[in-house]
Amino acid sequence: ETGVTQSPTHLIKTRGQQVTLRCSSQSGHNTVSWYQQALGQGPQFIFQYYREEENGRGNFPPRFSGLQFPNYSSELNVNALELDDSALYLCAGGVGPGDEQFFGPGTRLTVL
């Protein structure tokens, strides 16, 4: 039990649509990081938020954006969905940058 939950569990969208994935972390998790895990691959870092500000970003285009809220919840938004966006999206909470990250169970996004 990591104290990190994600919703929805599964999601099916059509190419070109927009999607919002949600993550809820436990009190004290001041950072939230998002990762994309394609089938058969390791997770890839999308970005991290620390106290509601973006604190680092991986090699993902601007159509991937995020928000972090004061109540330890966060969102990952993806615009103009592409087929290659189909993946498991993982959220991870942590106390601060560089601290251990606690992962949620993920949201499986399928883009048709």
Partner 1 sequence: AQSVTQLDSQVPVFEEAPVELRCNYSSSVSVYLFWYVQYPNQGLQLLLKYLSGSTLVKGINGFEAEFNKSQTSFHLRKPSVHISDTAEYFCAVANQAGTALIFGKGTTLSVSS
Q: By CB under 8 A, name the binding residues for partner 1.
A: 2, 4, 31, 33, 35, 40-45, 48, 50, 55-56, 58, 90, 92, 97-98, 100-106
CB of 13 to partner 1, least distance (A): 20
Toward partner 1, which CB reaches closer, 66 or 106? 106
**Please, which residues have CB within 8 angstroms of residue 59's CB and are 6 or more apart in sequence?**
44
CB of 79 to partner 1, least distance (A): 22
Burial of 39 (0-12, 13-18, 19+ CB in 10 A): exposed
Angle at 10 between CA 4 and CA 15, to 5 degrees: 125
Closest residue by Cα to residue 92 from 105, 108, 79 = 105
Toward partner 1, which CB reaches closer, 22 or 105? 105
CB of 111 to partner 1, least distance (A): 19
Whether 59 and 73 have beta carbons less than 8 Å apart is answered as no
Toward partner 1, which CB reaches closer, 14 or 84? 84
Toward partner 1, which CB reaches closer, 84 or 100? 100
CB of 67 to partner 1, least distance (A): 17
Whether 60 and 47 have beta carbons less than 8 Å apart is answered as yes
